[in-house]
Amino acid sequence: MRLEGKVALITGAASGIGRESALLFAAEGARVVVADLLADRAEETTQQIVAAGGEASCVIADVSRGADCEGMVRHAEERFGRLDVLFNNAGIMDARDGDAQETEEATWDRTMAINLKGVFFGCKYGIPALRRAGGGSVINTASFVALLGAATPQLAYTASKGGVLAMTRELAVLHARENIRVNALCPGPLRTELLMNFLDSEEKRQRRLVHVPMGRFGEASEMARSALFLASDDSSYTTGATFSVDGGITAAYVTPE
């Protein structure tokens, strides 16, 4: 039980990486706060955990709103008494996101508000809670496109995830002496609802997949197992890391400086 006695707050836990991580963290002994804007699906995740014998609580939160993020952290401490793991996972991939000419300001602003400001708000209110618990782990979901750029244009998404990487590195340095670790999980292309809805044709999917050395899309459950490592004490000497779980795509295309 790698998370025995720990309390984990996971945003975007109604589906995809968030749901798989919530289920896995609970199976590994964590008490889980399931945070999402989609009330019915968040409750579904919570009930799956409870049905499997775990302990979880659901909170509805829009991560682009500071008050909601403050509230979800308060919920974790009031319900379970502490916070040990903060997984800032919520994010969007807007189908209207394109190149600099195509992307409308509203699409840019919405993407930044959720993908980047949402992580900022999570850390703003979550890190003090980790400090009150004596330390803990922050995991921020970034993306391989923050390291490579995307073959299918998605400028706002790529820029937002680059910001998540930069913020992760700085927070890791700032809080390293407080027993608070901050790492970025960088998934490769995944077979999730989020990406499949964005890559809405077989041509788009093959254009993305052809670059992956392993020749397949990753699964949300594989990202959850990687997040478990970062959440647990197994990664006790890991902070400020860009943890790429991407089927080899960055190894194939990133040239060391």
Q: Map tokens 């000497």 to a residue.
A: 237
Residue 26's H or E segment, with its range, is: helix 16-27
Segments in 116-201 forming alpha helices (H): 117-132, 145-148, 155-175, 193-198
- Domain boundaries defined on the chain: 7-253
DSSP 84: -
How far apart are alpha carbons 243 and 197 in whole angstroms?
25
How far apart are alpha carbons 209 and 151 in whole angstroms?
10
Q: What is the architecture, at CATH level 2, of domain 7-253?
A: 3-Layer(aba) Sandwich (3.40)
Q: What is the pLDDT of residues 68-104, one digit of tens each?
A: 999 999 999 999 999 999 999 999 999 899 999 999 9
DSSP 81: S
Report, as residue numbers or ranges, the catalytic residues.
Answer: 157
> Which region holds residue 136: left if phi is over 0, alpha if psi is between -120 and 50, else beta?
left
Q: What is the pLDDT of residues 166-199, one digit of tens each?
A: 999 999 999 999 999 999 999 998 887 777 677 7
Whether the Cβ atoms of residue 192 and residue 220 lie closer than 8 Å to each other: yes
- Return the structure tokens found at 98: 């394109």
